[in-house]
């Protein structure tokens, strides 16, 4: 009996415990229902209001993170600085509606500047942004339903992690519905975002670029692959390049090759071993779910300057001139100098998020820029174009003193400043503007249909400058050799006047634009030939100073070396032409529609001696120039 009673009491105890657990579970269930994502307890009647407030913080943070990522980490953009003729891009890159600050750029005055935003600055900007946005959370929908919501000033603390943004808002929020009231002060939200991770990768790419200048090195390689820089080619006819074609080819090549650059990681596969050339190790393995994109578009602001500043670029053959017959062959050497600056936008992204920032890539005189400290000068006069202190009045006319509206620039040493345009005021075309101070700079006036004119002028004191522009006249153009058409031959004609040269490749070009003036006209006519020049090898000896003490006292010794001349096949050779000085007046150009040049026929050469003789004949023989 005792045992049975004890057994029944044990069973009752078990049932009581189970009942208690069930009650606790039910209570816990309702408690859990009242706990929101911030970890605070809110009565279930007020939960919709508080849920909205938390979602307002969450949405504002997400929107801000997207905006920051698309603007190089910035919510509040740094001060905008426009570009100039010297450096065409501004301090921000416009991309798909976003104004993205450059992390590295060269200002319009040639000053290298950095605008890299650090993580703590990003957190500070986000805190200020959320303080303003939280105050704009709209509770009107709930107030219409009878809720009373009272808020006070908010303080925000942000902690940006690799894959999330932790937000802590310190703001008293009082919610009332009927007799139920709740007051919450600390509100915490954790937003999923890779802003921190992508910013870290961006910094490593930027640091790698600043140390190794890998973007500039790729740019130099593109330059040497797609444009004539320096070198020589075997041949006896000149090489001719159109500068506009060179610039277009370079921009297209930079666009394609920039897109091929990768950061070491797992997000790509190499189709060819040679593609390893495009891989950069920045000290961070990029995962399979992440990607890096390097982007340059040919319609973005780009600077390409080629020296000498001529169009077309011409490289003349060497070896045919008088006195060089000993060479026994001819070749075409060339050397051109390029200044190039263009933006590259670097994007780090996955399937949901992206971070982007641009940098300026600068190639100076065919070489990558130096890894400059920020605020240092890059081949320019610091602040020249900003410090315009002298008022000058510029008048622009044609040869008949009729006013001509023109664009005015001022160049001092290697720096050019845009000043403005002359405008018609009465009987004059005038621009009164402030100029930078400079001794013996150049006022450059240009207008459509006129030759660009450079006028030497000092601007240390205010004054008046008058520039006469010479009108260009477009004429049909034709060359004849020995009184007949060229047939299968072609010609290169140069109209040389002071520091300006107009070059026509005929018959591809059948028009010429000339203004009045004194010209040296030089014509080379080339015919197709098939002439093989045998290679040769000879030993040359010269006297050189002896090494050691003997050399100091003038002792010499003979040193010999072997001179190897390669064999070559000549496919085009001078067969006619000449040189003529002539003055072409404005009245002649106004009345004319065509210019015809009659050149001597030297005959098609069949051996090297005749080839050299024909080349010398260019300087000896004159030309007949008829303006019809």
Residue 188, in any domain of the structure: no
Whole-angstrom distance, CA of residue 440 vs CA of residue 459: 8
278 shares a domain with 364: yes
Residue 275, in any domain of the structure: yes
Residue 9, in any domain of the structure: no
3-state secondary structure (DSSP) of residue 266:
coil
Q: What is the pLDDT of residues 303-334, one digit of tens each?
A: 999 988 877 888 877 765 444 443 445 678 88
402 shares a domain with 358: no
Q: For tokens 């009996």, name the residue.
A: 1
Q: Give the mean pLDDT of 411-419.
A: 77
Residue 593, in any domain of the structure: yes
Tokens linked to 83 = 């570009």
Residue 172, in any domain of the structure: no
Backbone angles phi, psi at 59, to 5 degrees: -65, -40
Per-residue pLDDT at 53 exceeds 60 = yes
φ/ψ bin of 323: left (φ > 0), alpha (ψ from -120 to 50), beta (otherwise): left
Residue 272, in any domain of the structure: yes
Select from 410, 437, 468 the last residue of a domain. Answer: 468
Q: Give the mean pLDDT of 21-40.
A: 41
Whole-angstrom distance, CA of residue 3 vs CA of residue 8: 9
357 shares a domain with 220: yes
Per-residue pLDDT at 124 exceeds 70 = yes
**How much is the pLDDT for 64?**
93
**How much is the pLDDT for 223?**
94
3-state secondary structure (DSSP) of residue 34:
coil
**How much is the pLDDT for 317?**
77
Describe the chain by its helix, strand, coil percentages, rounded to 5. 25, 40, 35
Q: What is the pLDDT of residues 534-572, one digit of tens each?
A: 555 556 565 554 544 444 445 566 666 554 555 566 777
What is the count of structural domains for the chain? 3
Model confidence at 450, pLDDT cuts 50, 70, 90, reads confident
The total number of residues written for the chain in this structure = 628
Q: What is the pLDDT of residues 419-442, one digit of tens each?
A: 889 999 988 999 999 888 887 888
556 shares a domain with 573: yes
Per-residue pLDDT at 16 exceeds 80 = no
Model confidence at 67, pLDDT cuts 50, 70, 90, reads very high
Cβ-Cβ contacts under 8 Å for 313 (sequence gap 6 or more):
228, 240, 241, 242, 243, 246, 306, 334, 336
Select from 334, 354, 376 the last residue of a domain. Answer: 376
Question: How much is the mean pLDDT over the chain?
Answer: 81
412 shares a domain with 487: no
338 shares a domain with 210: yes
322 shares a domain with 393: no
Model confidence at 249, pLDDT cuts 50, 70, 90, reads very high
Q: How many CB atoms lie within 10 A of CB 216?
A: 21
328 shares a domain with 207: yes
Residue 550, in any domain of the structure: yes
500 shares a domain with 455: no
Model confidence at 349, pLDDT cuts 50, 70, 90, reads very high
Backbone angles phi, psi at 410, to 5 degrees: -130, 125
Percent of the chain with pLDDT over 90: 39
Model confidence at 148, pLDDT cuts 50, 70, 90, reads very high
Residue 237, in any domain of the structure: yes
Whole-angstrom distance, CA of residue 610 vs CA of residue 614: 6
pTM of the model: 0.62
* DSSP code, position 31: H
454 shares a domain with 483: no
Select from 376, 405, 438 the last residue of a domain. Answer: 376
80-95 exposure pattern, b = at least 16 Cβ within 10 A, e = fewer? ebebbebbbbbbbbeb
Per-residue pLDDT at 84 exceeds 70 = yes
Greater pLDDT, 507 or 498: 507
609 shares a domain with 477: yes
Model confidence at 95, pLDDT cuts 50, 70, 90, reads confident
Per-residue pLDDT at 222 exceeds 80 = yes
Q: What is the pLDDT of residues 511-521, one digit of tens each?
A: 888 888 888 89
Give whole-number Cα distances, 69 to 26, 65, 72, 73, 126, in Å: 46, 6, 6, 5, 12
CATH number for the domain harbouring residue 454: 2.60.40.10
**How much is the pLDDT for 380?**
44
Per-residue pLDDT at 371 exceeds 80 = no
Write out the residue range of the structural domain in which residue 484 sits: 473-627
Q: Which of 129, 135, 363 is nearest to 254 (CA)?
A: 363
410 shares a domain with 293: no
Q: How many CB atoms lie within 10 A of CB 623?
A: 19
Cβ-Cβ contacts under 8 Å for 467 (sequence gap 6 or more):
394, 395, 396, 397, 406, 443, 445, 453, 455
């Amino acid at each position: 009996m005792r045992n049975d009673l004890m057994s029944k009491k044990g069973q009752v105890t078990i049932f009581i415990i189970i009942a208690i657990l069930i009650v606790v579970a039910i209570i816990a269930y309702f408690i859990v229902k009242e706990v929101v994502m911030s970890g605070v307890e809110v009565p279930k009647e007020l939960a919709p209001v508080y849920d909205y407030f938390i979602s307002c913080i969450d949405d504002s943070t997400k929107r801000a993170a997207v905006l920051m990522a698309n603007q190089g980490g910035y919510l509040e953009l740094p001060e905008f600085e426009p570009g100039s003729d010297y450096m065409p891009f501004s301090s921000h890159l416009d991309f798909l509606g976003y104004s993205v600050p450059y992390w590295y750029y060269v200002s319009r005055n040639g000053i290298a500047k950095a605008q890299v935003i650090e993580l703590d600055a990003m957190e500070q900007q986000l805190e200020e942004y959320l303080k303003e946005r939280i105050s704009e959370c709209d509770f009107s929908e709930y107030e219409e339903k009878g809720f009373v919501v009272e808020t006070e000033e908010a303080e925000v603390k942000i902690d940006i992690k690799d894959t999330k943004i932790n937000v802590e808002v310190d703001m008293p929020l009082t919610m009332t519905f009927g007799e139920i009231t709740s007051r919450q002060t600390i509100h915490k939200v954790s937003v999923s975002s890779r802003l921190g991770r992508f910013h870290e990768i961006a910094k490593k790419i930027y640091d790698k670029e600043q140390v190794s200048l890998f973007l500039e090195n790729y740019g130099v390689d593109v330059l040497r692959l797609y444009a004539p820089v320096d070198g020589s080619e075997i041949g006896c006819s000149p090489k001719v390049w159109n500068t506009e074609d060179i610039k277009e080819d370079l921009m297209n090549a930079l666009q394609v090759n920039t897109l091929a650059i990768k950061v070491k990681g797992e997000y790509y596969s190499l189709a060819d071993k040679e593609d390893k050339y495009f891989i950069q190790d920045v000290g961070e393995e990029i995962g399979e779910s992440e990607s890096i994109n390097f982007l340059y578009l040919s319609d973005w602001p780009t600077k390409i300057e080629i020296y000498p500043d001529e169009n077309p670029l011409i490289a003349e053959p060497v070896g045919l001139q008088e006195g060089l017959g000993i060479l026994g062959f001819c070749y075409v050497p060339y050397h051109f100098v390029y200044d190039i600056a263009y933006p590259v936008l670097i994007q780090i992204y996955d399937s949901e998020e992206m971070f982007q920032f641009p940098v300026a890539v600068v190639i100076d005189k065919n070489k990558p820029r130096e890894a400059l400290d920020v605020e240092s000068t890059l081949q320019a006069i610091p602040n020249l174009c900003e410090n315009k202190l002298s008022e000058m009045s510029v008048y622009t006319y044609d040869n008949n003193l009729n006013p001509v509206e023109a664009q005015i620039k001022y160049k001092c040493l290697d720096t050019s400043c845009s000043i403005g345009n002359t405008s018609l005021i009465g009987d004059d075309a005038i621009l009164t503007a402030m100029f930078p101070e400079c001794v013996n700079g150049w006022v450059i006036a240009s207008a459509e249909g006129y030759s660009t004119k450079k006028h030497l002028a000092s601007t240390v004191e205010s004054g008046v400058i008058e520039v006469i522009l010479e009108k260009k006249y477009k004429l049909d153009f034709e060359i004849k050799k020995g009184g007949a058409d060229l047939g299968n031959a072609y010609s290169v004609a140069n109209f040389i006047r002071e520091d300006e040269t107009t070059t026509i490749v005929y018959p591809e070009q059948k028009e010429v634009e000339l203004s009045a003036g004194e010209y040296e006209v030089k014509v080379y006519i080339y015919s197709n030939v098939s002439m093989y020049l045998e290679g040769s090898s000879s030993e040359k000896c010269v006297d050189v100073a002896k090494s050691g003490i003997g050399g100091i006292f003038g002792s010499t010794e003979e040193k010999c070396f072997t001179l190897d001349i390669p064999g070559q096949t000549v496919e085009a050779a001078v067969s006619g032409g000449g040189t003529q000085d002539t003055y072409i007046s404005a009245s002649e150009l106004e009345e004319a529609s065509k210019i015809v040049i009659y050149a001597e026929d030297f005959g098609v050469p069949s051996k090297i001696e005749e080839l050299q003789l024909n080349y010398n004949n260019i300087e000896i023989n004159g030309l007949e120039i008829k303006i019809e």
